Amino acid sequence: MKQAGSKEKKVEKETEKQEVVEEIADERIAALEQQLAEMEDRLLRATAEFENYKKRRQRESAELLRYGHEALIRDLLPVLDSFERAILSSEGNRDYQVFHDGVELILQQMREVLRGAGVERVWPEGEQFDPHRHEAIGVCSHEELEPDHIATVVEPGYEIHGRVVRPPKVLIVRSDTEEADSEEPESEEPESE
C-alpha cells in the first residue's frame, strides 16, 4: 500500500505542478493579451493621428496654393492704385510730360515690387548666347561682337530666384559660316559689249 500511496502522492505532485504551470501560463497569456490590446490601441491611435496629419497638410497645401500670392498681391495693389490715379489725373490734364513721368514712376514702383518678390529683369545684350536661358528669334551681323553673342535684346527676360520665368528674345551675331550660307551666288551672265 505504500506504493499505492506514493504513486498517488506523485500524481498529486505532478497535478499540482501542472496546475502551477497552467496558472503561470494563463497569467503570461493574460499579460501578453493585455500587451497586444495596448499595442493595437497605440497602432489605431497612431494611424488616426497620421490620417489627421495628412488631412491637415492637404488643407494647408490647398490654402497655400490658393492664398500663397497674397503678399505679392498686397504689394501690387498700390501699383494698381497708381495706374488708376494716373488715368484719372490725365483726364483733366493733357500734359504729356506729366503723364509720362507718372507712368515712369509707376514702372519703377512695379519693378521694386517684383524685385522684392525675387524677380529680376534679364537684359543679356553683349553676352554669350545660351539656348537654355535665351530665345533666339533671329541672327544679324555686328562689327564689335563675336559670333554667337547677343547683339540685340528684342524683349527682356525675367528670372525668379535664378530660375528663368521668361527667356529674353534676342538677335544673335551670326557666325562666318552662316554669312557664307546666306550669300547668294552671283549669276554668270555674259557681259554685253
Find the mean pLDDT for residues 49-72: 93
Q: How far is CA 168 from CA 20, 121, 158, in A?
A: 88, 9, 7
Sole residue written with cell 528670372 = 159
CA-angle at 101, arms to 151 and 93, nearest 5° = 135
> What is the model's pLDDT at position 3?
65
Q: What confidence category does residue 176 fall into, taking pLDDT thresholds of 50, 70 and 90? A: low
- Same domain? For 21 and 39 the reply is yes
CATH no. for residue 127?
A: 2.30.22.10
Q: Which residue has the higher pLDDT, 190 or 38?
A: 38
- Same domain? For 104 and 136 the reply is no
HSE at residue 150, side-chain half, CA atoms within 13 A, is 24
Range of the domain at 105: 69-117
Report residue 18: phi and psi, to 5°: -65, -40
HSE at residue 193, side-chain half, CA atoms within 13 A, is 0
Find the mean pLDDT for residues 160-179: 86
User: b or e along 9-40 (b: 16 or more beta carbons within 10 Å of the residue's beta carbon)?
Assistant: eeeeeeeeeeeeeeeeeeeeeeeeeeeeeeee
- Same domain? For 108 and 76 the reply is yes
Q: How many domains does the structure of the chain reveal?
A: 3
> Is 2 a member of any domain?
no
> Is 104 a member of any domain?
yes
Cell triple for residue 153? Answer: 535684346
State percent of the chain over pLDDT 90: 64
> Is 186 a member of any domain?
no
> Is 108 a member of any domain?
yes
> Is 61 a member of any domain?
no
Find the mean pLDDT for residues 114-121: 94
> Is 32 a member of any domain?
yes
> Is 191 a member of any domain?
no
With left for phi above 0 and alpha for psi between -120 and 50, is residue 161 left, alpha or beta? left
